[in-house]
Amino acid sequence: MTTTDPDATLLRRHAEDENAAELVALAEADRGQPKPPGWNLSPRAVKTFLLGGTLPDGAPIRAKYIGREGLIEIAVATLATDRALLLYGVPGTGKSWVAEHLAAAISGDSTRLVQGTAGTDESAIRYGWNYALLLAEGPSRAALVPSPVMRAMEDGVMVRIEELTRVTSEVQDGLITILSEKALPIPELATEVQARRGFNVIATANNRDKGVNELSSALVRRFNTVAPSVEVERIVTIFRELRHGVTVDGQTRLKSPSGTLSTAEAISVLQSGLALAAYYGDGLLGAADVASALTGAIVKDPVQDRAVWEEYLATVAKERAGWRDLYRACRDVL
């Protein structure tokens, strides 16, 4: 089968392309709503894009994130005040996904991206040079190679920085002037790039990764840090540990259950817990809300998997700081 649509061959489209129809519909319904300078949508519409909802004409908006409404509200409000946003937590809690969709909704462009690694150098945050032109003509704007951050400042859009704590401290500190002064000095040219309205930084950081570079207090002060719900972190941690057969600190070997413990199952546990919290609880997701669905996701075989889960609860959950409520809730439903 042949097709003339070039996007049909892409493995994964950017969030703004995948959800283009919804973004257009939200923008049309959003007319007259107050928007921060440089934003495509109002904060209310950005929240609807992430969490889902229904437009005035009855058209549905699909939820892109299943989790606490307050977390998204804080994230959107942070960006609306020109304060940078740091999404901080364990792997698998949707930090990168949320960051991409926030950038798509606010700027219509999620492609301004710095992928943080141990090898990320200063040029990824500030700028680099075309050395052929630099040697031939000397320092000039034509010889300068702008970073994604610099291009976002010039265009007044969001830039994403993934895995900020994997970047060395010296490179991290290149963000301090950008975030505090909203300007990027270029001393070689005796000039600077000033950020246009609409520019901001959405960063993600993993607090469980080995070899993490701690963020300096000066840099942390320039971010508003938002962490996923503690229940989200605990579910992700349990699924990860049981899949891998070892605790995250590598100290305790574990037996694995017969099921796959997929991401889809983790999301299902959260959906079930959120429904219980909303309809029968106080609206805040707690250990008792997720215990039943969590146990059901793990215990597929009533004999083998039950033994695995009981051992995990007794040796890990019961002894782990801050997990006693989850231990008791899960024991109650076994």
Q: Which domains does the chain carry?
A: 6-226 (3.40.50.300), 230-333 (no CATH)
User: pLDDT tens digits, residue range 81-123?
Assistant: 888 999 987 777 789 999 999 999 999 999 999 999 989 999 9
**Residue 210 or residue 289, greater confidence:** 289
pLDDT tens-digit readout, 113-151: 999 998 999 999 999 999 999 999 999 999 999 999 999
Contact 308, 257 (CB under 8 A): yes
φ and ψ of 115, to 5 deg = -95, 110
pLDDT digits (tens, 9 = 90+) for 43-81: 999 999 999 999 999 999 999 987 778 889 989 999 998
Give the tens place of pLDDT for each residue, 243-264.
Answer: 999 998 899 999 999 988 988 8
Give SS3 for 89: strand
In the three-class reduction of DSSP (H, G, I as helix; E, B as strand; rest coil), residue 61 is classed as strand
C-alpha to C-alpha distance for 42 and 141, rounded to whole angstroms: 35
SS3 annotation, 149-184: HHHHHHHCCEEEEECHHHCCHHHHCHHHHHHHHCEE
Global pTM exceeds 0.85: no
| % of the chain with per-residue pLDDT over 70 | 96
Residue 1's pLDDT band, with cuts at 50, 70 and 90, is very low
Q: What is the pLDDT of residue 206?
A: 82
Q: What is the pLDDT of residue 302?
A: 87
The pLDDT value given to residue 32: 84
